[in-house]
């Protein structure tokens, strides 16, 4: 249904798969790279890409271990993912794209912006898994959570499309029907290796967020609906780095775009229009 490009590149030493909406006509569109969350894939951004493709050259990348990208045995920290996305941006010859990430992808985007200065023009962070230092899990809690999640990934990989659709609909009643096709595909493709992201601690966000040199938008939902970023965390982010602003979207949990799509796209559009003005 889409006249989108697909392909594979080698970035940071591993093959990564991407889907790209591209530019039409003689006027190139600003590039917008999308970084998905843990156990999703690039096409989980399809509704957002459809909404923004008229104005942006949208590039959806499957992170390592996800979708059709390679699944190495190790290398699933924010630093590893950021190196992959930085390599992908360079391999695709994208000039200072905007970078929009969800959850794990949001943490990847922030880490990349801080450690690869000048590579992106701005970042948009949809509910990254950021908590205050005192709220961190113990190593034992992390290990238990990782093993539970890994078992769930393995269990879902062998379910049929129909079984996954029924499961997704029951678990996520606020999502539109358009979200479930890519979500099901992602669960069938994902490697259990990706859960190392949960098991192995990444650098805490408070150690680098102040050094992010570009404009940023932190998109948050409601904690009581499953959102991760609390008002206290959002305030700490803006105090550490005044270049980052906050858009709180009420009535959404962790998957902000999937639960309040219109408000989410409006916030993303408004921010990008200011950056590219």
* Model pTM score: 0.96
Q: In which band, very low, low, confident or very high, does the pLDDT at 201 lie, cut at 50, 70 and 90?
A: confident
Mean pLDDT in the chain? 96
**Confidence at residue 135, expressed as pLDDT on a 0 to 100 scale:** 83
Give just the sign of the alpha carbon dihedral 44, 53, 90, 10.
positive
The first and second tokens of residue 141, run together, are: 């809690």
Residue 164's domain is classified under what CATH number?
Answer: 3.40.50.1820
Q: What total of structural domains would you count in the chain?
A: 1
Buried-state track 247-258, b at ≥16 Cβ within 10 A, e below 16: bbbeebbbbbbb
pLDDT in tens, 213-223: 999 999 999 99
Determine the Cα angle at 35 with ends 21 and 103, to 5°: 145
Helix (H, G, I), strand (E, B) or coil at 180: helix
Q: How far apart are CA 76 and CA 201, in angstroms?
A: 10
**Confidence at residue 272, expressed as pLDDT on a 0 to 100 scale:** 98
Please report which helix (H) or strand (E) contains residue 17, including its range.
strand 14-20
According to DSSP, the β-strands at 122-126 and 216-220 are parallel
**Confidence at residue 1, expressed as pLDDT on a 0 to 100 scale:** 53
pLDDT in tens, 235-274: 999 999 999 999 999 999 999 999 999 999 999 999 999 9
- Cβ contacts of 259 within 8 Å, gap of 6 or more: 174, 175, 221, 225, 251, 252, 253
Segments forming the whole domain that contains residue 177: 5-275
pLDDT in tens, 142-166: 899 999 999 999 999 999 999 999 9
Tell me the percentage of the chain whose pLDDT exceeds 70.
99
pLDDT in tens, 99-118: 999 999 999 999 999 999 99
Query: Is the model's pLDDT at 25 over the cut of 80?
Result: no
């Amino acid at each position: 249904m889409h006249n989108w490009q697909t392909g594979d590149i080698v970035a940071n030493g591993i093959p990564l798969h991407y889907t790209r909406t591209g530019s039409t006509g003689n006027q190139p569109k600003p590039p917008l790279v999308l970084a998905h969350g843990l156990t999703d894939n690039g096409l989980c951004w399809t509704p957002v890409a459809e909404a923004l493709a008229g104005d942006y050259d949208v590039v959806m990348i499957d992170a390592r271990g996800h979708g059709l990208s390679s699944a190495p045995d190790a290398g699933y920290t924010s630093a590893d993912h950021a190196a992959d996305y930085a390599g992908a941006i360079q391999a695709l010859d994208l000039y200072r794209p905007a970078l929009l990430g969800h959850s794990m992808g949001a943490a990847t985007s922030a880490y990349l912006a801080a450690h690869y200065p000048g590579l992106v023009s701005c970042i948009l962070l949809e509910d990254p898994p950021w908590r205050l230092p005192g709220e961190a899990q113990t190593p034992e809690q992390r290990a238990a959570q990782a093993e539970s999640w890994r078992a769930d990934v393995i269990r879902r990989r062998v379910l049929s499309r129909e079984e996954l659709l029924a499961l997704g609909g029951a678990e996520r009643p606020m999502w539109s029907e358009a979200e479930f096709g890519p979500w099901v595909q992602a669960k069938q493709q994902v490697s259990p290796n990706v859960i190392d992201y949960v098991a192995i601690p990444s650098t805490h966000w408070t150690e680098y967020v102040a050094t992010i040199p570009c404009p940023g938008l932190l998109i948050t939902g409601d904690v009581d609906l499953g959102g991760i970023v609390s008002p206290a965390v959002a305030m700490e982010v803006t105090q550490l780095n005044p270049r980052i602003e906050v858009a709180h979207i009420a009535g959404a949990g962790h998957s902000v775009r999937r639960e309040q799509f219109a408000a989410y796209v409006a916030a993303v559009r408004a921010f990008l229009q200011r950056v590219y003005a």
